[in-house]
Amino acid sequence: MKVKVKLFALLEDYLPVGARNNEVEMEVVAGTTAAAIVKRLNLPAELCHLVLLNGNYLEPGERGSRPLAADDVLAIWPPIAGG
């Protein structure tokens, strides 16, 4: 199945070849979690601060246990803020 992964701010550097506009479509097997995506893209764990699944915050405890569904959108940011 396919999922969309978006990486922003300092994580931009980890976007794989073929990524456009901060996002890339990835082919994953059933049961893949957000943590598995983080590992596959070699993202430093300490930079994966804000993780949104379809716009909803994914608690740290869910990132390694909740399987992604087809067409899910996973967006990840390092610690950031603004105002």
Partner 1 sequence: MGWTRKVLRVNLSKGTCASEPLNMEWAQKYLGQRGLASRYLVEEVNPKVDPLSPDNKMFFATGPLTGTAASTGGRYSVITKGALTNAIACSNSGGYFGAELKMAGWDMVIVEGKAKKPVYLLIQDDKAEVRPADHLWGKSVWETDALLKSEHHEPQMRISAIGRAGESGVMYACIVNDLHRAAGRSGVGAVMGSKNLKALAVRGTQGVKVHDFPKFMQAVTAGKKVLAANAVTGQGLPAYGTQVLMNVINETGALPTRNHRDVQFEGAGRISAEAMREKRVTDGKANLVRNQACFGCTIACGRISQIDKTHFTVANNPKYWGAQGGLEYEAAWALGAATGVADLEALTYANYLCNEQGMDPITFGTTVGAAMELFEMGVLTTKETGGVELKFGSAEALTKLAEVTGMGEGFGKEIGLGSKRLTEKYGHPELSMSVKGQEFPAYDGRGIQGIGLAYATSNRGACHLRGYTIASEILGIPEKTDPLVSAGKAGLVKAFQDATAAVDSSGLCVFTTFAWTLDDIAPQIDGACEGGWTAARLLEMGERIWNMERRFNLDAGFTAKDDTLPKRLLKEAAKTGPAKGKVNDLGKMLPEYYKLRGWSPEGVPTNETVTRLAL
Q: Where on the chain is the footprint of partner 1 (CB under 8 A)?
A: 6, 8-10, 12, 21-22, 46, 49-50, 52, 54-57, 59, 73, 75, 77-83
CB of 60 to partner 1, least distance (A): 9
The number of beta carbons lying within 10 Å of the beta carbon of residue 53 is: 18
Q: Which of 40, 16, 41, 29 is nearest to 67 (CA)?
A: 29
CB of 83 to partner 1, least distance (A): 5
Classified as helix, coil or strand, 36 is helix
CA angle 13, 54, 50 (to 5 degrees): 50
**Considering beta carbons, is residue 20 or 29 the nearer one to partner 1?**
20
CB of 1 to partner 1, least distance (A): 21
